[in-house]
Amino acid sequence: MLEPHRGLGAVAVLPPRPAGTEEGFLDLRRQFLSPLAGGFAHFLRPPGPVLEYPASMVVNIAIIGSGPAGYTAALYASRAGLEPLLFEGLQPGGQLTITTEVENYPGFPDGVQGPELMDLFKKQCARFGTRFVEFQPIAKVDTSSRPFTLTTTSGDEHKAHSVILAMGARAKLLGLEKETELMGYGVSACATCDGALFKDREVVVVGGGDTAMEEATFLTRFCPKVTIVHRRDYFRASPIMLERARANAAIEWKEFRSVVDIQHDDKKQVTGVVLEDPRDGSKEDYSCQGMFVAIGHQPNTEFLGEEFDRDEVGYLKIEGGTRTSVEGVFAAGDVHDPAYRQAVTAAGYGCAAALEAQRWLEAEDLA
Ligand SMILES: Cc1cc2nc3c(=O)[nH]c(=O)nc-3n(C[C@H](O)[C@H](O)[C@H](O)COP(=O)(O)OP(=O)(O)OC[C@H]3O[C@@H](n4cnc5c(N)ncnc54)[C@H](O)[C@@H]3O)c2cc1C
C-alpha cells in the first residue's frame, strides 16, 4: 500500500510480517523482557506495520529510543514538520513499561499505569506524523560522513541529517529469578519512584555505593526500618554519604551478606529475603516487605563509536543543553543523566533535544 507523505514522495506501509518471522520477533522480545517484565506479558504484542521509504531518502531527524525522552523528542520534531523517524528498539515505551503505578508524572492526579502512560506518549506523537520502526534496534551509527548512516541489527541502513540518542539506561539487577517476577510487587530499582508506596513498611536496600546510601536515607522518610545489605564491610560510597546513612537511626546494617532469594505470599507481596554470608555460606531468613536493588545503572551506549564522549560508566557527555561530542547528534534522557533518572526529566530533555536539533538543521540549511 502506498500513501502520499509530505516531503517524502511516497511511503510504503508494508503488511504485517508473516507468522514465522513474527514468532522470531516475539522470541527476541521475550528474551529481552523476560529478565525485566514481571507481569507484563500482555505487552508482548506482535509487531505492527513496518514503514519503508526510498533507500536514497534522508530523514531530518532519526530518534533512537521510545521512552519518555524519545517520544517527547518525536512529538516536538513532528509538530515542527520535521517528520522524524523513531526507532523503538526492543522495549517499546522504555523502562516505564515494566512498572505498575506511576504517581509522580504530572497531569495524572490519580496516578497512571506505566504501560498506559507510554501508550499515550506514542499516540500523541503518532497523531502528528511520527514514523516508527519497531523491533529493529540500531546496531551502529556511522558519523564519519554526513548524512549519518544508522544500521539496524538486521542490516537495514537509514540516512539522517541529525540524530537524537534516547536509548535510556537499565538498572543493574542481582540476577535472581524472583527479582524480575516481583518487580512492582515489592521489588524496586528506584526509591524516588516507589518509596512512597512503601509507607510504614520495613525494607532492605541492596548495595554499597552512593546510590544505595542515598536511596536508604530517602526511604527512611517513609519506612520505620531500612536495612542496607552489602556483601562486604567495605563501602564504595563516598565518606559523606556513608556517614549520613550511618548517623540515621532508622538504618540498620547487614554487612558480609548477599540476598540469594526473595520470599513472598500468594499475592506476590514480598515477605522477606534470604541472606547468605559469603564467608561461610551460612543463610538466614530476614523479614521485610520490600527490597530495593541499588547497585547502579548501565546506559545503553555500548554500540556507539569512540567519537561519542562518555564518562567511565558509559553515560554520554553533553554540552550546552543536549549536544553530544558529534555535531548534529543530540542526547536526551537517562542515556546521559545519572543524576535524576525520572520520566519527567527524560521527557524534558527530549523536548530540549528536538528544539536543538531543529535549530541546528535550520542553521545548516538542511530543513
Ligand atoms: C521499575 C521502574 C520504575 C520506575 N518508576 C518511575 C516512576 O514512578 N516515575 C518516574 O518518573 N520514573 C520512573 N522510573 C524511571 C523512568 O522509567 C526513567 O527515568 C525513564 O523511563 C527514562 O526515559 P528514557 O526515555 O531516557 O529511556 P528509557 O525509558 O530507558 O527508554 C529507552 C528506549 O531506548 C530503546 N533502545 C535502547 N537501545 C536501543 C537501540 N540500540 N536501538 C533502538 N532503541 C534502543 C529502548 O527500546 C527504549 O525504548 C522507573 C524505572 C524503572 C526501571
User: Would you give per-residue pLDDT tens digits along the chain (367 residues)?
Assistant: 333 232 232 233 333 333 333 333 333 333 333 333 333 333 333 344 445 556 568 999 999 999 999 999 999 999 999 999 999 999 999 999 888 889 999 999 999 999 999 999 999 999 999 999 998 999 999 999 999 999 999 999 999 999 999 999 999 999 999 998 998 889 999 998 899 999 999 999 999 999 899 999 999 999 999 999 999 999 999 999 999 999 999 999 999 999 999 999 999 999 999 999 999 999 999 999 999 999 999 999 999 999 999 999 999 999 989 999 999 999 999 999 999 999 999 999 999 999 999 999 999 999 8
pLDDT number for residue 52: 57
Q: How many whole angstroms separate alpha carbon 63 and alpha carbon 81?
A: 15
Which atom in ligand 1 lies closest to the alpha carbon of residue 101? 8
Residue among 187, 61, 168, 183 nearest 118 (CA) = 168
Q: Which residues of 194-227 are buried (b: 16+ CB within 10 A; e: fewer)?
A: bbebbeebbbbbbbbbbbbbbbbbbbbebbebbb
**What's the gap between Cα 31 and its chain centre?**
16
Nearest CA to ligand 1 atom 3: 99
Catalytic annotation present for 193: yes
Q: Which residue has the cell 558480609?
A: 256
Distances in Å between the Cα of 326 and the Cα atoms of 247, 279, 305, 306, 360 are 45, 48, 11, 10, 12
Q: How many whole angstroms separate alpha carbon 344 and alpha carbon 211?
A: 20
Which conformational region is residue 56 in: left (phi greater than 0), alpha (psi within -120 to 50 degrees), or beta? alpha
Q: How many whole angstroms separate alpha carbon 333 and alpha carbon 350?
A: 7
Q: For the whole prediction, is pTM greater than 0.85?
A: no
Of 33, 85, 95, 100, best ligand 1 pocket probe by most atoms within 8 Å of the beta carbon = 95
Nearest CA to ligand 1 atom 14: 342
pLDDT number for residue 103: 92
Distances in Å between the Cα of 224 and the Cα atoms of 259, 332, 350 are 21, 37, 37
Cβ neighbours of residue 231 under 8 Å, at least 6 residues apart?
Answer: 208, 256, 257, 258, 278
pLDDT number for residue 31: 36
Q: Does 141 contact ligand 1 (Cβ within 6 A)?
A: no
Collapse the DSSP code of 326 into the 3-class scheme (helix H, G, I; strand E, B; otherwise coil) and give the result.
coil
Residue among 149, 166, 160 nearest 66 (CA) = 166
Q: Give the distance (Å) from ligand 1 centre to CA of residue 52.
A: 26
| Tally: H helices and E strands in the chain | 8, 22
Which of 125, 193, 223, 288 is flagged as catalytic? 193
Nearest CA to ligand 1 atom 33: 65
Catalytic annotation present for 119: no
Catalytic annotation present for 190: yes
- DSSP-assigned letters across all residues of 140-156: EEE-SSSSEEEEETT--
Q: How many whole angstroms separate alpha carbon 101 and alpha carbon 286?
A: 27
Q: Which three cell numbers stand for residue 96?
A: 516505564
With residues binned 3-state (H G I as helix, E B as strand, rest as coil), the percentages for the chain, rounded to 5, are 30, 30, 45
Q: Give the distance (Å) from ligand 1 centre to CA of residue 155.
A: 25
Q: Mind listing the domains of the chain with CATH numbers?
A: 2-171+297-363 (3.50.50.60), 177-293 (3.50.50.60)
pLDDT number for residue 55: 55
What are the phi and psi torsion angles at 109 (to 5°)? -60, -25
Which atom in ligand 1 lies closest to the alpha carbon of residue 66? 49
Which atom in ligand 1 lies closest to the alpha carbon of residue 102? 8
